[in-house]
Amino acid sequence: MTSGHLDTAAVEALTRSELGRGGPLSDEELIRRLARRQPDARRLSLLSGVGQLLRLMDGLVAGKETGEGFVGKFSDRFLALTDWEIDPVLETAFEELNDFYSQIQMFSASPVEIEEEPSLFGLSDLKDRTQLAYVSLKEKWSRSLEFERESA
């Protein structure tokens, strides 16, 4: 690790589906190591939860999640996250994610439904929207961790 920069391998482990989280360190422990201190419990929970959202998003884009599975899991985890206001950087991501959450509710795996209802969209559009949201969220999440580290 270089001073002032996050450990890229740890960030990737927390945000990429292909690396999984079956290793010996929990999300919370990796975040503590990245931050070089113990964030308070609410902030740690938020940072860990956002990492889980990022892994879900990466999994969909990488083809490891079905559209229906992704929408259900993402919705459940997003709605369960609270305390966005305790992190000024992630609070700005909340509005974007809330919009993204609303958009993905219009996903349909049925070409017939999509044809009949123009507001619905299929897997390709879901992946495109998810990739854009992923890049934005990962950047904000990384900035939040950098801020946490600098204030250590």
For residue 118, being part of any structural domain is answered with yes
CA distance 58 to 44: 21
**Domain assignment of residue 112, yes or no:** yes
On whether residue 3 sits in a domain, the answer given is: no
Check residue 14 and give its pLDDT: 64
Three-class DSSP labels, 58-95: HHHHCCCCCHHHHHHHHHHHHHHCCCHHHCHHHHHHHH
Residue 2 counted as domain residue = no
Tokens of 86: 């305790």
Residue 1 lies in a domain: no
Distance CA 9, CA 15 (A): 10
| In-domain check, residue 53 | yes
Query: What tens-digit pLDDT sequence spans the chain (152 residues)?
Result: 333 455 566 566 666 655 454 555 677 777 777 666 667 788 888 888 998 999 999 999 999 999 999 999 999 999 999 889 988 888 989 999 999 999 999 999 999 999 999 999 999 999 999 999 999 999 998 888 887 767 75
**Selection from 56, 44, 23 nearest residue 148 by Cα:** 44
Q: Which two tokens stand for residue 115?
A: 């044809």
pLDDT at position 10: 58
Tell me, what's the pLDDT at 25? 61
Domain for residue 77, yes or no?
yes
- pTM listed for this prediction: 0.83
Q: Total structural domains in the chain?
A: 1
- Give residue 3's pLDDT: 39
Domain holding 96, by residue range, is 8-150
